[in-house]
Amino acid sequence: MLQKPRIQLLKSFTNNHICTEILRLDEMHPVISGNKWYKLKYYLEDAIQQGATEIASFGGAYSNHLVALALASKHAGLGVTGFIRGEAGPIASPTLVAAMDYGMKLVYLTREQYQNKEAIEIQYQATGRYFVAEGGYGALGVQGAASILDGFNWESYTHMVCSVGSGTMAAGFLSRLAPHQQLIGISSQKNNASLKNAVLHFSPSEKHPQFELVEDFHFGGFAKHPPELLAYMRALWERESLPTDIVYTSKLCFAVEQLIAANRFVTGSKLLVIHSGGLQGNHSLNKDMLPF
Ligand SMILES: *Cc1c(COP(=O)(O)O)cnc(C)c1O
């Protein structure tokens, strides 16, 4: 079902001092693209092993996680329920329409209800229903994210740079990092004081100095996409034929360029940027906003 991802040289991110390449997870599958499939695969296995007949999880109206879960559950022959943050609007988002197409049942929660997911899990506990945490955060999600690195020569890089939402993917990379490598996470959120620890939680303390969380590139907050971000996305497409999403990967690439310009990386650095997918989220924009 999934293609092996390719690695693309980013010429305009490369100079005499450093070389930058990007792992194109976005090309693997139009819906289950990016990190979501990896984060979910061990949960699905675990659910099946436990005899579950249905998966349930949480997310917002534009959640890449929920739409990937919907399709992955369908392929696995499992029923699926999505608990959605916020009341149902007059029209469902393209993400939720797709999720429903794949068979996901939706339950809308108020913001207050959404705060207390444990209560929801208890209320909706049913025989055969298996809950996956929001964003796939948890040990099995981290293990699955780490498997993104299987099968290619990731140890040849000095730095890996990825975006950070729940922190699951970054935690997976940190758990695998070799001693000579650094992981830089670019936060997609504004002011989330617990995010760094969410990443560090799954690795022994000796590894913690190898991780840095950069929080200056949220462009106003989670999922905010001001005109200057969209202009950057168009320019990046022109320069590198690289499509990015408005929530994570555009901010990631922007941050990498800024860090390079600020001489954050010593001469000889070799960067691997992770394109974690998410392009389906761009459907929330008007059609003529982006050239890809
Ligand atoms: C979910 C997502 C992330 C964030 O991954 P976490 O494991 O939640 O930190 C990054 N990029 C894209 C495109 C995503 O969909």
Statement to judge: residues 163 and 128 lie in one domain: no
Whether residues 123 and 152 share a domain: the answer is no
Tell me: do 280 and 153 sit in the same domain: yes
Residue that is last in its domain, among 110, 136, 162: 136
The Å distance, Cα 266 to ligand 1 centre, comes to 27
pLDDT tens for 176-212 read: 999 999 999 999 999 999 999 999 999 999 999 999 9
Separation of CA 26 and ligand 1 centre (Å): 11
Count how many Cα atoms sit within 13 Å of the Cα of residue 217 in the half-sphere of its side chain: 26
Q: How confident is the model at residue 161 (pLDDT cuts 50, 70, 90)?
A: very high
Both 151 and 93 in one domain: the answer is no
Q: Of the residues 57, 160, 163, which should be mutated to test ligand 1's pocket, given the most ligand atoms within 8 Å of the CB? A: 163
Mean pLDDT score, 274-292: 94
Residue 291 counted as domain residue:
no
Query: What does the pLDDT look like over 38-74, one tens digit per residue?
Result: 999 999 999 999 999 999 999 999 999 999 999 999 9
Q: How confident is the model at residue 1 (pLDDT cuts 50, 70, 90)?
A: low
When the pLDDT of each residue in the chain is averaged and rounded to a whole number, the result is 96
**pLDDT tens string 212-265:** 999 999 999 999 999 999 999 999 999 999 999 999 999 999 999 999 999 999
Q: How confident is the model at residue 32 (pLDDT cuts 50, 70, 90)?
A: confident
Q: How far apart are CA 174 and CA 183, in angstroms?
A: 7
- Reading the block at residue 56, the tokens are 């349930």
Residue of 168, 169, 188, 250 to test ligand 1 pocket, by largest number of atoms within 8 Å of CB = 169
Q: What is the pLDDT of residue 3?
A: 73
Task: Give the number of the atom of ligand 1 that is nearest the alpha carbon of residue 248.
Answer: 11
191 and 274 together in one domain: yes
Q: What is the DSSP letter of 193?
A: T
Q: Are residues 167 and 269 located together in one domain of the fold?
A: yes
Domain C-terminal end among 136, 157, 174: 136
Residue 1 within a domain? no
Number of domains in the chain: 2
Same domain, 102 and 212: no
CA distance 143 to 150: 11
Buried residues in 263-276 as b, exposed as e (16+ CB within 10 A)? ebbeeebebbbbbb
Q: Which of 103, 136, 169 is a domain's end point?
A: 136
CATH, residue 150? 3.40.50.1100
Residue 21 lies in a domain: yes
User: What is the distance in A from the centroid of ligand 1 to the CA of 172?
Assistant: 12
As a whole number, mean pLDDT of residues 142-166 equals 96
Asked if residue 289 is part of any domain, the answer here is: no
Counting from 1 in the atom list of ligand 1, the atom nearest the Cα of 135 is 8
Domain that holds residue 109: 36-136
d(CA 137, CA 21): 27
Residue nearest to atom 5 of ligand 1 (CA): 165
CA 39–ligand 1 middle distance (angstroms): 10
33 has pLDDT over 80: no
